[in-house]
Chains A and B, each alone.
Chain A
Amino acid sequence: MLSKIVFSVNGRKVEFTGNPLTRLIDVLREDLGLTGVKEGCGEGECGACSVIKDGRLVTSCIIPVGAVNGSEIYTIEGIRDTEKGKCIIDAFAEGGAVQCGFCIPGMVMAAYALLEGNPHPTELEIRKGISGNICRCTGYDLIVESIKLASEKGGALWA
C-alpha cells in the first residue's frame, strides 16, 4: 500500500502525502505554483489543463494525484525553455495564434505531444491533435497554421 506518492514534475522530484484524490491540477497550481496549467471546465473536456504524463497528453483536472505515482509530468513551465518548446511558442507568436491566451498553455502542450509523435502533420492531423482543446477567441485557424509553422521551422528538431 502506498502512503506517499512520488513522481516528477518538469524533471523535479515531488513527494505528496496528502489526500490521494486531490486533483493533479491542484497539486500543480496550488502546491507547486505552476499556474500555466489553467482550469477551464474541470471535467476533462476543454483541454486548458493539459499536461504531458509519461509522454502522453492528459487533462490534469480529472486525474487524482494518487494515480501518478512513478510518473513523469511536464507542464508548459517545463517545456517553454527547451528547443522544442521555444519552437512552438515562437511559431504561435509569429503566426498570431494567441488572443486572450487562456487556452494557449494547453494548446502548446497538445501541439508538443502531436509533433513529438508526428513531426509533419497534415492540417487534418493538426486539427485532430488539438480537437480536445477548446479556444473561444481565435476560431482555431491561426493556431492550426502556427502548429504547421512550428513543424516546418523546427525541421530536424521534430524528426
Chain B
Amino acid sequence: MGMTYIPTTLSEALHLRAEKGARPLAGGSDLMVQSKRGIGLAPEFPYDVMIITGLSELRGIRTLDDGSVEIGALATPAEIAASDIVPWHVRQAAAGMGAIALRNTATIGGNIGNASPKGDLPQPLIMLDAEVVLASIHGSRRMKLDDFILGSKKTALGDDEIIRSVIIPPHGFTYLFYRKIGMRKANAISKLSLSAAATVKDGVILDFRAASGAAGPKVIRSHEAEDIIRGHMTEELPSIMDSFLEAWDGAISPHAMPLYRRNTTRRMLSYFLSAIHEGAAEGIISEEAE
C-alpha cells in the first residue's frame, strides 16, 4: 500500500509527483469508489497518492486574452455548469453529470485523467478542440485533449506531470446540439452521447463538427467525416448526408450494444443536419422539451 500526501502548494505537488510518483486524487468520486473496501475501511492504493483538493493554483475559470476559456483542473461540474463564460456544450455536459452532490465533488481534471470512454466532459471538449495544460517541475506543455486521451483509461500523462487546466478556444457556432442518453436522469453513466455544432453563413456550412461519447474506446471525432459536410451549401445536405453518416458510422466502434449505439448516433446526427437543412432558427437544436 502506498503513502498518502497532502501537498499545500502546486510546487510541492509537482515535487511529490516527480520524486515519489504520487498520483493526484482531486474530488475522489472515481478513485475513492474504484478502491473502496467497505464500511469503516479507508480505500487502499497500490501506489503513492497525493490529495490535491486544496491547491488554489488549480482552481477557477477565466477568459484569456485571445478569447479562450481556461478551466482549472479542480473546477467542479457545478462550477462549470454555472459559469457564463464556459461554452454551451461543456456546460450541458457538466450539468448532466451525476447528481447535485457529485457535481459538487468531481473535478474536470479527474474526469479527463480517468479517461473513461463514458466520461462526460472529454466529449464536448474534444469537439471544441480543447487543449490540456500539463505541469511538471520542468515547466508546462499544452496538447490537444484528443491526443492526450489515448484510449480507455489511457492518457499521455508523463510520470512527472499533473493536469493543470483545460483551455477551450473560442467558437461562434450558428447551430449547437448536445445529447446524453442514460438509464435515468440523475446519477446515470452515459450510455451514449453526442455533441455537434455548425457555423453557417449565407447558406454555406463554414464549419461542422461532432464528437461521440461512449461509442468506442475513447471519444470519437472524425475530421474526414466532418470534411464531407464542410464547405457545402445547406441545400446540398440531402445529397451528402448518407455519405457523411456512413463515414461517421465507420469511425465509431461501439463494443457493447453496437446496433443500438450505431442507429441512435445516426439518428441524432441526421436530426441535427436535417434541422440545419430546413433552416431552423439559429441556436440550440433541441429534440424535445425537458
Contact = CB atoms under 8 A, between A and B. Distances in A.
Interface stretch (A65-73, A88-96, A141-149): A65-73
Contact of A132 (B8, B42, B187): B187
Main secondary structure of the interface of B (DSSP, over half): loop
Contacts of A79: none
Contacts of A30: 40
Contacts of B27: 63, 67
Contacts of A59: 101-102, 105
Contacts of A53: 104
A20 B45 CA distance: 12
A1 B4 contact: no
Interface string B54-84: 1000000000000000000000001000000
Interface string A52-96: 010011110111101111100000000000000000000000000
Q: Which of B4, B7, B78, B290 lies at the interface centre, i.e. has the most chain A CB atoms within 10 A of its CB?
A: B4
B187 A62 contact: no
Contacts of A20: 4, 6, 51
Contact of B33 (A62, A110, A124, A132): A62
A44 B97 CA distance: 13
A131 B99 CA distance: 6
A26 interface: yes
B170 interface: no
Contact of A64 (B12, B41, B51): B51
B100 to A, nearest CB: 5
Contacts of B185: 131
B203 interface: no
A154 interface: no
A21 B6 contact: no
A30 B40 CA distance: 8
A107 to B, nearest CB: 12
Contacts of A45: 187
B25 A50 contact: no
A84 B78 CA distance: 24
Given A1-B6, A62-B32, A67-B53, A131 B42 contact: no
A63 B101 CA distance: 11
Interface in A20-52: 20-23, 26, 30, 39, 42-45, 47, 50
B100 A113 contact: yes
A64 B100 contact: no
A63 B104 CA distance: 11
A119 interface: no
Interface string B19-61: 0000001011100110010111111110001010110000000
Contacts of A133: 99
A26 B42 contact: yes
Given A23-B43, A69-B54, A131-B100, 6 more contacts: A21-B4, A44-B29, A50-B101, A67-B28, A124-B290, A129-B100
Interface of B: 4-8, 12, 25, 27-29, 32-33, 36, 38-45, 49, 51, 53-54, 78, 98-102, 104-105, 185-187, 290
Q: What 10 pairs across the A-B complex have the smallest Cβ distances?
A: A132-B99, A131-B186, A67-B53, A2-B6, A66-B51, A56-B104, A21-B42, A62-B32, A59-B101, A22-B42
29 contacts: A20-B4, A21-B32, A21-B45, A26-B39, A44-B102, A50-B101, A53-B104, A56-B104, A57-B100, A58-B104, A58-B105, A61-B32, A62-B105, A64-B43, A66-B4, A67-B25, A67-B28, A67-B51, A67-B53, A67-B54, A68-B53, A69-B6, A70-B54, A124-B290, A131-B99, A131-B186, A132-B99, A132-B186, A133-B99
